[in-house]
Copies of this chain bind each other. A is one copy, B any other.
Amino acid sequence: FAPVDVISNHIMGKRSVRRYKDTPVPRDIIQSCLDITAYCPNGYNARAVGFTVITDRSLIARLGNAVHEAMKGAPLPLVMQHWQQRHGAGEGEEDTVFWGAPCVVFSHYPATWRKGVEDSTIALAAAEMVAVSHGLGTLWLGAARALGTHPSLASLAGVPEGRKVVGGMTFGYPAVRFVREVPREPVPVNWVE
């Protein structure tokens, strides 16, 4: 197993990337990030998480617009309304859904199953760890929820029929470079000893 400082620095150095180079991500690199998820823990060992990978730039653009439209009409929690106000104004100018990423990955689960969110999130977190090793930048996609609740969006994305989208992530080479981690407040922990 990797030493503590290696793992800690890897996690601390990871940043959410919202600006990408146009360079496509080679298919075998994406595949290697997803391959690792076969080894992830998952509920009842059902191994039901699968992925749809989109590298078609015009489809990513169309899907971004469709998600944006779907979210406009949705009743959103307060913070998300804030996000909408902040980014909605620049409509059409900037892709505030997929942020110009050359590759978008959605995780999904058989629609008849429920509660695959944890499995999907553990899998995407592992894929992200490997992606960062490959020099890729990633962004967790809140937009995945729109695909999970609107089957027509999932269908547009090419998600196989009968699968419910439970998570999403962008993969791409960052067009920004972060020199240090963000300073963070300690996480609240209460001890029962």
Contact = CB atoms under 8 A, between A and B. Distances in A.
A33 to B, nearest CB: 9
A147 interface: no
A107 to B, nearest CB: 10
Contacts of A139: 41
Interface string A94-135: 000000000000000000011101100111011001101111
A188 to B, nearest CB: 4
A43 B35 CA distance: 26
A3 B190 contact: no
Contacts of A140: 41, 118, 122
A138 B101 CA distance: 34
A187 B142 contact: no
Contacts of A41: 14, 16, 139-140
A175 interface: no
B44 A190 contact: no
B38 A13 contact: no
A162 to B, nearest CB: 12
Nearest to A138: B41
A189 B11 contact: no
The 6 closest A-B pairs by CB, nearest first: A38-B184, A121-B121, A158-B192, A50-B188, A125-B125, A44-B79
